[in-house]
Amino acid sequence: MSTKYETVIGLEVHVQLSTKSKIFCGCSTEFGKAPNINTCPVCLGLPGSLPVLNKKVVDYAMLAGMALSCDIAEYSKFDRKNYFYPDLAKAYQISQFDLPIAENGNIEIETDNGIFNIGVTRVHLEEDAGKLVHEGSIDKSEASLVDYNRSGVPLIEIVSEPDIRTPAQAKAYLTELKLILEYLEISDCNMEEGSLRCDANVSLRPEGQKEFGTKAELKNMNSFSAVEKGLEYEVKRQQKLLDEGQVVVQETRTWDEDLNKTISMRGKEEAHDYRYFPDPDLLPLEINQSWKKEIRERLPELPREKYKRFISEFSLPAYDAGVITGNREMAEFFETVLKDYNDPKNISNWMMGEFLRLLNENNEGPYDSGVSPENLSKMLKMIDEDVISGKIAKKVFEIMYESGKDPEKIVEEEGLKQISDEDELESLVDQIIAANPDAVEDIKNGKDRAIGFLVGQIMKETRGKANPGLVNQMLRDKLMD
């Protein structure tokens, strides 16, 4: 009988903080500039230059730490992590080793299999390295160029406890973490531009065993689905080795998106390989109570709390609450509409339906569109008051999205007002009755469904503007006793 294994996963996530200037100098952090434009003696690591800590970076790291329920250290310090690589100008990276700014947090996640609490070991501050540009692939390139624009861009590294048990949980953890950071507005979390990077430690152990198995570190997974696929592959690879009685080697492996497999890169470094020591150029970081208090007051309602509140307070289905709170602006938009229009489910239907469809089509956020919360609530009221039908409203909504116009004005300009006046519809109803003797016969023989056919004909004639309820009633009055 083959052994059953338990998967153990821990994630290390690097997040670029969206401050305007770098962590230890005044250079801009703007992405996409010409190479080596955003540099100065400090971030180029020139001799004699001295780093000065950017306070805003600390504010952001504290916000992240608090949002992840960590303890914020009153005393932390910066250390040099020494290694040589051409993208690292000083041949050391300023990071935090044994006294990180935040520790002992957690993130609650939800998957199809339930709710799980994943521990956050630590959050620490560090600077990013520069970027090497190769001509083609790294192993075939004749030469490599270096761009130091990214050197000194502020990062936080968020390290999870090895509490994750499946690739699906890993994906849920990352999704929740990204959402929290977006709610805090401290990073754009753009994975393509490298603002959010994820490495994973993964190992297997026989079920019931306490000690961890030998782990492999996975790098270079630059999308959530790559993380999930990379981990799934790695679990299978290790399982096969163990089943065959072989050993898993501790090493760093890279996920190759094209080959759909992980490939060994190098043996794993240990902390002592880096010869960490306190950076003598930087003072220790002391955070007093009033600074903590000031930052705590800036914490917004977090996505998980908002999600739960949307379910309990507005009776939204969990699915709706998840979609709406899955984007901070959508959630804010939703609550603004709600101030003026008290039907949460109807608002969420429109936001998840027509609105989200157009936003995705145009790759926009709700506030980039022409629809304002005021105008959406106005339009929903017009439907409720039978000024327009639900069908016509879709047309109004599209025009509103493009033009930003008031829905009342759109209805007037486009002549979309619902016809709810019996006198106005009378002759048309008579015409349709006269033109469809077969349907009339069916109705008289008790086939109710034929009424729907006649209503449809009238809606067609009026281009959707007739009030369908009224038309239905008029037909019944005329044809049924």
Which residues, 6 or more positions from 381, have their beta carbon under 8 angstroms from its beta carbon?
341
Taking CB under 5 A as the rule, does residue 153 contact Zn ion?
A: no
Taking the CA atoms of 451, 454, 456 and 458 in sequence, report the sign of the dihedral they define: negative
Taking CB under 5 A as the rule, does residue 216 contact Zn ion?
A: no
Site for Zn ion in 357-386 (CB under 5 A): none
Per-residue burial over 258-274, b = 16 or more CB atoms within 10 Å of its CB, e = otherwise: eeebbeeeeebeeeeeb
Q: Which stretch binds Zn ion (CB under 5 A): 8-16, 25-33, 54-62, 443-451?
A: 25-33
Residue number with CB closer to Zn ion (93 or 203): 93
Which residues, 6 or more positions from 257, have their beta carbon under 8 angstroms from its beta carbon?
226
In the complex, minimum distance from the CB of residue 371 to Zn ion, in angstroms, rounded to a whole number: 42
Residue number with CB closer to Zn ion (24 or 183): 24
Site for Zn ion in 2-21 (CB under 5 A): none
**Can you tell me the distance from the alpha carbon of 366 to that of 354, in angstroms, rounded to the nearest whole number?**
12
Q: Which stretch binds Zn ion (CB under 5 A): 32-40, 168-176, 196-204, 262-270?
A: 32-40
Taking CB under 5 A as the rule, does residue 53 contact Zn ion?
A: no
Q: Which stretch binds Zn ion (CB under 5 A): 43-51, 123-131, 139-147, 184-192?
A: 43-51
For residue 95, give the H/E element and its range.
Answer: strand 92-95
Strand partners, 20: none
In the complex, minimum distance from the CB of residue 39 to Zn ion, in angstroms, rounded to a whole number: 5
In the complex, minimum distance from the CB of residue 195 to Zn ion, in angstroms, rounded to a whole number: 19
Among 11, 13, 17, 25, binds Zn ion (CB under 5 A): 25
**Can you tell me the distance from the alpha carbon of 373 to that of 386, in angstroms, rounded to the nearest whole number?**
20
Residue number with CB closer to Zn ion (8 or 44): 44
Among 11, 13, 23, 27, binds Zn ion (CB under 5 A): 27
Residue number with CB closer to Zn ion (43 or 204): 43
What the block records as the tokens of 105 is 């947090």
Q: Which stretch binds Zn ion (CB under 5 A): 27-35, 68-76, 359-367, 396-404?
A: 27-35
For residue 119, give the H/E element and its range.
Answer: strand 114-127
Range list of β-strands (E), 128-282: 131-134, 144-147, 154-160, 196-206, 216-221, 251-256, 261-267, 277-278
Q: Which stretch binds Zn ion (CB under 5 A): 35-43, 131-139, 267-275, 408-416?
A: 35-43
In the complex, minimum distance from the CB of residue 338 to Zn ion, in angstroms, rounded to a whole number: 46
Q: How many residues bind Zn ion (CB under 5 A)?
A: 5
Taking CB under 5 A as the rule, does residue 43 contact Zn ion?
A: yes
Closest alpha carbon to 23 in 129, 148, 147, 155? 155
Taking CB under 5 A as the rule, does residue 132 contact Zn ion?
A: no
Taking CB under 5 A as the rule, does residue 23 contact Zn ion?
A: no
What the block records as the tokens of 215 is 């782990």
DSSP structure string for 394-431 = HHHHHHHHHH---HHHHHHHHT---B--HHHHHHHHHH
Taking CB under 5 A as the rule, does residue 40 contact Zn ion?
A: yes
Residue number with CB closer to Zn ion (128 or 228): 128
Where on the chain is the footprint of Zn ion (CB under 5 A)? 25, 27, 40, 42-43
